[in-house]
Structure 1
Amino acid sequence: MRAASAFSALALTLLLAVPAFAQSEEAVFERIETIQGDAEGFGEAFATLQEAFLVGDPAQTLADLANYPFEIAANGELYDIFAPEDLVDNFDRLISEDTRSALASQDYADLIVTSEGVGFGDGVLWMANICTDESCDETYWAITRITN
């Protein structure tokens, strides 16, 4: 009986050691589809963002994917970004190296999915599925906040 209790305790410890965010890409896709909608559209935006940080122009890509106006928390301050050029012209000051690294190495299976949107890098960047009108028949994915 003691061996069974010890085994049960060990099994429980091992289960608890698995990170809470461990999930499959399929589970993340389904969660995005259920909570935000248009998971395929998000996948396209995700690929565009990752490609930009790996081999493209991340400043312009972030600017192109943003929903204006939005906020960036950086350098202990909160900045209101009103237009793409605000982000592009100040990219090096507004987007930290840690944030750039987190975005470049983001794994789809580790995304955060909530009713507020999809979070990258433990919440350094948030995207949401934005409705184009009251009926919400058409939507697009956009960056809504960056927090360095």
Structure 2
Amino acid sequence: MRRTALAIACVFSLLAAPAFAQSEEDVMGQIENLHGMSVEFGEAFGLLQDAFLFGDPTTIADLGVYPLTVEANGEIYDITEPQDLVDNFDYLLTPDTIAALSSQDYADLIVTSDGVGFANGALWMNLICVDDACAQAWWGITRINN
């Protein structure tokens, strides 16, 4: 009985412990281990962040995987082509989301086996395979959540 209580106390103390910040190298390593092509992800990250910083919806749209699911204004939209995202950009992305994405720190990315999340999950990118062997691939935006 005492061991069970001690084990439970240890688990709760671990859960209550503060999370340690990860470094950019840690994030890059996680991306490489789970998906590969971490250098290419870094390039896509730079393009995406610059596009949000400088208000360039065309570059953002070019990084999209279509149909692209966008959650905005309490609705879910399936954007079928890049021009639809460009034409409706101000409606589909809130100022708060744009600000969060433009100031995204590489070390604060969410890396899972399902992809890489930006701004606490406001935007997700995945490695998109061009062929069955995934010999050719690129990083694309697969979902935007406002």
**TM-score over 0.5 for the pair:** yes
Other-structure match for 2:54: 55
Query: Residue 30 of structure 1 aligns with which residue?
Result: 29
Return the letter of the residue paired with 1:42.
F
The letter of the residue matching 2:141 is: I
Cα separation, 1, equivalents of 2:74 and 2:44: 28
SS in 1 for 2:17: helix
Structure 1 residue 132 displacement after superposition: 0.4
Pairwise CA distance, 1:56: 4.9
* 1:88-117 Cα distance to aligned partner (Å, 9 max, x none): 000010001111011110000000001110
Alignment of 1:1-148 (within 5 A): 16-17=17-18, 19=19, 22-57=21-56, 59-148=57-146
**Match of 1:133, SS?**
coil
Superposition misfits of 4+ residues, deviation over 3 angstroms? none
Query: Judging changes above 3 Å, is the alpha-carbon distance between structure 1 residues 74 and 56 closer, same or farther for their aligned structure 2 residues?
Result: closer
- After superposition, what is the alpha-carbon deviation per residue over 1:49-71, rounded to whole angstroms, capped at 9, x for unaligned? 111122351x1111010011110
For residue 5 of structure 2, what is the aligned residue in structure 1?
Answer: none
| Secondary structure of the structure 2 residue equivalent to 1:122 | helix
State the SS of the aligned residue for 2:120. Answer: coil
Corresponding letter in the other structure for 2:137? T
Amino acid at match of 1:39: S
**TM-score normalised by length of structure 2:** 0.86
Partners of 2:126 and 2:25 in 1: how far apart?
19
Counterpart residue identity of residue 77, structure 1: E
Q: Which amino acid aligns with 2:104?
A: Q
TM-score, normalization: structure 1? 0.85
